[in-house]
């Protein structure tokens, strides 16, 4: 069998990989676009040019360096989408310090684990964030539980229920504003020459140095710290931005979380590497704020997971927003229903919207649709392999590429694959094989044109009476039911078949109930009988991670409890 007949594709490209660090990338953006707007925070009304953003990052870097933060040290950042996120990101990059992204939803136990496992020397945190009122107490409690007792700095410029003057009440040395002010003093001192020192530090860094730790969701056991380099992150963002056609004329609205690769790489790094403008609509996702930001900033690009776009399209006053400036954007995180994609293209004017697929361990994007792909390509596939990346669909047992059109495990190799899980070599070896392939755990099929269809997780596959059933296929069909706004299909225990299908549904406005019998009648003759869910349960929302992914683990557990209760 020839290579072209196997499920293998490599991303040939005439555009070379970048050999820069993140700080060097920002320096290049300042040189080319210094007076253009780089960052907009809608909540506070603040705006930064590229020159101003770099200056603030250098102020923070100088102060961090004076406190002893050096290359390789870990600095935790525990915050929602606030502009200081970007400032801290580039301050750490200037020093070669490893930024540790921390989920804002973490509570004390999870926060303490990440701080301890990463060995963080410092934690930079918000003061407060709804619905959790006091990050200060949680941060201090978590820091006290870790052996290294990280230094705490609080983002007092971020408004919260503790009051606008909360920073002044935190105590000396604990305010981010004070830290930046100290950095400003250092850079202004002609004798200290901190500007020279920072450049010397930055010039001594390698693009292959680790620069970021991102902790996986940890749905089973403790989360693992994905170790990513300048080279991983910068190149992934750069090629994503290039494929979206970004220039300095583009403005990108980012309702997706910064602590995740979606906001930090597909967002910030894709934007900065092309001199475009990043717009933060709100600290956490608010559909109305996202659309208002598009209108106010005449944005050309909007990001989100499908549930975010569904929420925006479902706003009662959706038609009142002027979204005519949009042309592109990114949808990622989970499969997009056909009807949702059609409305995004037609009603949100996002004719060039792209689907991205990957995982944190691959920086994150491995495949992506192109701006001229058809609606079918953007809803039935996750696109083709990215430049300078290899993708194969492999037999889960042998690791060999399967023929095109045959389902197997999606694997990725190339510059984007992580260095490994932080201080966990055994788990790294389980994920990355000896040939350098990252095993994603996703099931996929590659067609003759190299497009990849990801049909779910290996662990999400339902085995009913010996038949392998794939929830996504069933979900796509159920989306065509007039009463169903959103749906997730899971497997639940069954004494006869081993597993049965349960469909959790969210109903459209005007519908109050939907029964399994009604779904069975709707599906009869249109869906194989063994693919028709035996159980249908209505709910108001799905359990979500902060990054917008639906937690199917919880849906399976809840489904099992519901079915057990009925049988009992």
pLDDT tens, residue by residue, 260-274: 999 999 999 999 999
Containing 89, the helix (H) or strand (E) segment is helix 83-95
Q: Return the number of other C-beta atoms located less than 10 Å from residue 547's C-beta.
A: 19
Confidence band of 158 (pLDDT split at 50, 70, 90):
low
Q: Is the pLDDT of residue 124 over 90?
A: yes
What mean pLDDT is predicted for residues 512-522?
95
Helix crossing, 83-95 with 194-203: angle to 10°?
A: 70
Query: What pLDDT shows up at residue 173?
Result: 45
What mean pLDDT is predicted for residues 221-235?
93
More confident residue, 323 or 396: 323
Q: Is the pLDDT of residue 71 over 50?
A: yes
Fold of 3-16+285-457: Rossmann fold (3.40.50)
Superfamily of domain 461-567, CATH level 4: ANL, C-terminal domain (3.30.300.30)
Query: What pLDDT shows up at residue 226?
Result: 98
Query: What pLDDT shows up at residue 219?
Result: 42
Domain boundaries, the chain: 3-16+285-457, 22-227, 461-567
339-389 per-position pLDDT tens digit:
899 999 999 999 999 999 999 999 999 999 999 999 999 999 999 999 999
Listed range (86-90, 157-161, 516-520) with the worst mean pLDDT:
157-161
Q: Is the pLDDT of residue 220 over 50?
A: no
- Residue whose C-alpha is closest to residue 101's, from 85, 112, 87, 90: 85
Write the class of the CATH domain 22-227.
alpha beta
Query: What pLDDT shows up at residue 160?
Result: 47
Average pLDDT over the chain, rounded to whole? 92
Confidence band of 63 (pLDDT split at 50, 70, 90):
very high
Q: Return the number of other C-beta atoms located less than 10 Å from residue 539's C-beta.
A: 14
**Quick check: 86 and 109 in contact, CB under 8 A?**
no
Q: Is the pLDDT of residue 166 over 50?
A: no
CA distance 286 to 277: 20
Query: What pLDDT shows up at residue 223?
Result: 87
Omega into 320 within 30° of 0, i.e. cis?
no
List, in order, residues 6 or more apart from 421 with CB less than 8 Å away: 224, 225, 226, 227, 427, 428, 431
Query: What pLDDT shows up at residue 169?
Result: 47
Q: Do domains 3-16+285-457 and 461-567 have the same CATH topology?
A: no
Query: What pLDDT shows up at residue 168?
Result: 46
CA distance 383 to 338: 15
Q: Return the number of other C-beta atoms located less than 10 Å from residue 141's C-beta.
A: 14
Query: What pLDDT shows up at residue 525?
Result: 85
Q: Is the pLDDT of residue 109 over 90?
A: no
Torsion of CA 392, 395, 398, 400, to 10 degrees: -30
CA distance 110 to 125: 15
Query: Which residue stretches of 119-160 are H helix?
Result: 135-144
Confidence band of 3 (pLDDT split at 50, 70, 90):
low
Confidence band of 132 (pLDDT split at 50, 70, 90):
low
Confidence band of 130 (pLDDT split at 50, 70, 90):
low
DSSP 544: B
Report the Cα–Cα distance between both ends of the chain, in Å, rounded: 53
Listed range (81-95, 99-113, 285-299, 315-329) with the worst mean pLDDT:
99-113
Task: Look at the alpha carbons of 296, 233, 381, 310 in this order and tell me if their dihedral is positive or negative.
Answer: negative
What mean pLDDT is predicted for residues 471-499?
91
What mean pLDDT is predicted for residues 188-206?
95
Q: Is the pLDDT of residue 133 over 70?
A: no
What mean pLDDT is predicted for residues 417-443?
96
Omega into 364 within 30° of 0, i.e. cis?
yes
Q: Is the pLDDT of residue 546 over 70?
A: no
Tokens of 268: 């910030």
What mean pLDDT is predicted for residues 199-223?
86
- Residue whose C-alpha is closest to residue 36's, from 55, 22, 25, 49: 49
What mean pLDDT is predicted for residues 294-299?
98
């Amino acid at each position: 069998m020839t290579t072209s007949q196997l499920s293998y594709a490599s991303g040939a490209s005439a555009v070379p990989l970048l050999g820069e660090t993140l700080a060097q990338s920002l320096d290049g953006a300042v040189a080319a676009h210094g007076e253009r707007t780089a960052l907009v925070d809608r909540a506070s009304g603040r705006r930064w040019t590229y020159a101003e953003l770099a200056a603030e990052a250098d102020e923070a870097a100088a102060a961090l360096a004076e406190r002893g933060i050096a290359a390789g040290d870990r600095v935790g950042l525990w915050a929602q989408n606030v502009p200081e996120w970007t400032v801290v990101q580039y301050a750490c990059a200037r020093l070669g310090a490893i930024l540790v992204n921390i989920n804002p939803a973490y509570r004390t136990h999870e926060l303490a684990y990440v701080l301890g496992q990463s060995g963080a020397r410092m934690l930079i945190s918000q003061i407060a964030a709804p619905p959790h009122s006091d990050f200060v107490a949680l941060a201090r409690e978590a820091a006290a539980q870790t052996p290294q007792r990280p230094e705490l700095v609080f983002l007092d410029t971020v408004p919260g229920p503790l009051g606008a003057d909360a920073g002044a009440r935190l105590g000396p040395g604990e305010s981010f504003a004070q830290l930046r002010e100290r950095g400003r003093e250092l850079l202004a001192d002609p004798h200290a020459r901190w500007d020279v020192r920072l450049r010397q530090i930055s010039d001594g860094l390698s693009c292959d140095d680790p620069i970021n730790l991102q902790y996986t969701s940890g749905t089973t056991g403790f989360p693992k710290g994905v170790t990513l380099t300048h080279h991983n992150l910068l190149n992934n963002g750069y090629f994503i931005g290039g494929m979206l056609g970004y220039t300095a004329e583009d403005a990108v609205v980012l309702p997706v979380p910064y602590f995740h690769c979606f906001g930090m790489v597909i967002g910030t790094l894709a934007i900065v590497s092309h001199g475009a403008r990043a717009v933060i609509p709100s600290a956490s996702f608010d559909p109305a704020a996202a659309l208002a930001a598009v209108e106010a900033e005449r944005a050309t690009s909007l990001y989100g997971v499908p549930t975010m776009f569904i929420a925006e399209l479902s706003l009662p006053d959706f038609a009142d927003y002027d979204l005519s400036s949009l042309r592109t954007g990114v949808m990622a995180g989970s499969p997009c229903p056909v009807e949702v994609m059609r409305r995004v293209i037609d009603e949100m004017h996002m004719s060039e919207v792209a689907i991205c697929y990957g995982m944190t361990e691959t920086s994150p994007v491995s495949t992506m649709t192109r701006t001229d792909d058809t609606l079918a390509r953007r809803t039935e596939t996750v696109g083709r392999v990215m430049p300078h990346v290899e993708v194969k669909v492999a037999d889960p047992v042998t690791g060999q590429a399967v023929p095109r059109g045959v389902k197997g495990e999606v694997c990725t190799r190339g510059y984007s694959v992580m260095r490994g899980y932080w201080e966990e070599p055994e788990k790294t070896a389980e994920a990355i094989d000896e040939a350098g392939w990252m095993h994603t755990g996703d099931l996929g099929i590659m067609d003759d044109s190299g497009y990849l269809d990801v049909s779910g997780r290996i662990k999400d596959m339902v085995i009913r009476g010996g038949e392998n059933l794939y929830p996504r296929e069933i979900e796509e069909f159920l989306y065509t039911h007039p009463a169903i706004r959103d749906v997730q299909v899971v497997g639940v225990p069954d004494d006869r078949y081993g597993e049965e299908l349960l469909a959790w549904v969210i109903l459209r406005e005007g519908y109050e109930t939907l029964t399994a019998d009604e779904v069975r009648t709707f599906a009869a003759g249109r869906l194989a009988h063994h693919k028709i869910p035996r159980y249908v349960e209505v709910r108001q929302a799905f359990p979500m991670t902060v990054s917008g992914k639906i937690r199917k683990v919880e849906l399976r557990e809840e489904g099992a409890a519901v079915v057990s209760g009925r049988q009992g």
